[in-house]
Amino acid sequence: MKTTAFTKFHEELGARMVEFAGFKMPIEYTGIKDEHVNVREKLGVFDVSHMGEFWVKGPKAFDLIQKITTNDVAALFDGKVQYSCMPNGKGGIVDDLLVYRFDEETYMLVVNGANVDKDWAWVAKHAEEMGLEIGKELYNASDEICLLAIQGPQALKAMQKIVDQPVEDMEYYTVKKLNVAGIENAIFSTTGYTGAGGCEVYVANEDGEKLWKAVMEAGEEFGIKPTGLAARDTLRLEMGFCLYGNDIDDTTSPIEAGLGWITKFVDGNDFIDRELLEKQKADKPKRRLKPFVLAEKGIPRHGYKIEDAEGNEIGEVTSGTMSPSLDQAIGMGYLNEGFWKADTEIFIRIRKKVVKAHITKLPFYKG
């Protein structure tokens, strides 16, 4: 099991540690609800060093990324970040990811921790076919980089204390290379997986200890708390953000998953599976990922069956939790056509009991 540059701090703070994506990671410190609410109201810091980072450089960088991702890389400019996904050649999704553009020949792809090896094999295969030099023009830096996500309404104000450029007015999904806490060329992006605002900071592993201490000290007056992966999951679900392995995978298409907004059928964007996905959009898929709220007591879990009023199976839950912000059970699941409209009544089979729910609109938490 791998550790991160911050593992010793988690253990010193008494975090409950678990194996996640091959890493020893903190699941919670003071409790999910406490940590969750603190991020929504103040700020929290997450160790997300398990994420993978691939550099794509050179004259063919743009062409490679435009081919392997569904979003339109041509829409990016220097310092802009884009959410996208990689189709798998069969209509499914290899992974969802972030694409960072630093200049016209320098990009960074940030992929899910559990998928690093799979993603690297996929990207390297297509890079080799296009003539990129592996290890130079395509480089896997995942084991060299540590990453903290500082999330919450007070996050940028706190981080302004330890950076050498203005960051409080940075637009959502942008990136700068900054001096952070004396660490040169740290990557500072206004991204995150919580919907609470804030940033993510990438540095070399050897600078991890310095970064952690500076972040905690800068955030102290604003009420910063270390936050585990359990609260990260409840925060992302309140926003309706997809989780790879639950809501999307190699068997789900971006059109089915409600990710049509990152699947751009524009001129010049000839990505893998474009023709297949364009046809699926035109014909309309037979199932879609939809959000729902329980009307009765119970918590929906991944894999629970969804039924109609007559007891016919019409879908399956992909993610579910008790929302700490709303104090209400929420979830997402793939549903057959005819059950997609807001307020449509559905039923979740929780063990032997059937619990009433209804379709809603995202995000669940509106701030």
Question: Omega into 291 within 30° of 0, i.e. cis?
Answer: no
| Furthest CA-CA distance within the chain | 63
- Non-local CB neighbours of 279 within 8 Å, separated by 6+ positions: none
Q: Which residue has the tokens 């989780």?
A: 243
- Angle, CA 126 vertex, CA 124 and CA 130 arms, to 5°: 110
Residues 214 and 216: their CA atoms lie apart, in Å, by 6
What is the C-alpha separation between 140 and 55, in angstroms, rounded? 6
Element of type H or E holding 28: strand 23-28
Order of strands, sheet of 225-226, starting from the edge strand that comes earlier in the sequence: 175-180, 183-189, 198-204, 145-151, 44-47, 225-226
The DSSP call for residue 243 is -
User: How far apart are the C-alpha atoms of 29 and 242, rounded to whole Å?
Assistant: 24
- The amino acid at 180: V
Whole-Å CA distances, 82 to 4, 17, 104, 198, 271: 26, 31, 14, 16, 16
> How far is Cα of residue 50 from the mean position of the Cα atoms in its chain?
12
Is-contact 321 331, C-beta < 8 A?
yes
- Give 13's contacts (C-beta < 8 A, 6+ positions apart): 29, 226
What tokens appear for 251 in the block? 């068997």
pLDDT of res. 272: 98
Q: What is the pLDDT of residue 23?
A: 97
pTM value is 0.98
Tokens of 180: 């952070």
pLDDT tens string, the chain, 367 residues long: the values are 999 999 999 999 999 999 999 999 999 999 999 999 999 999 999 999 999 999 999 999 999 999 999 999 999 999 999 999 999 999 999 999 999 999 999 999 999 999 999 999 999 999 999 999 999 999 999 999 999 999 999 999 999 999 999 999 999 999 999 999 999 999 999 999 999 999 999 999 999 999 999 999 999 999 999 999 999 999 999 999 999 999 999 999 999 999 999 999 999 999 999 999 999 999 999 999 999 999 999 999 999 999 999 999 999 999 999 999 999 999 999 999 999 999 999 999 999 999 999 999 999 999 8
What pLDDT sits at residue 222?
98
Write down the H helix ranges in 84-201: 116-129, 155-159
Closest CA to 100 of 69, 132, 136: 69
Domains detected in the chain: 7-48+143-238 (3.30.1360.120), 286-362 (2.40.30.110)
CA distance 83 to 244: 14
Query: How does DSSP assign 272-309, residue by residue?
Result: TTHHHHHHHHHH--SEEEEEEEESSS----TT-EEE-T
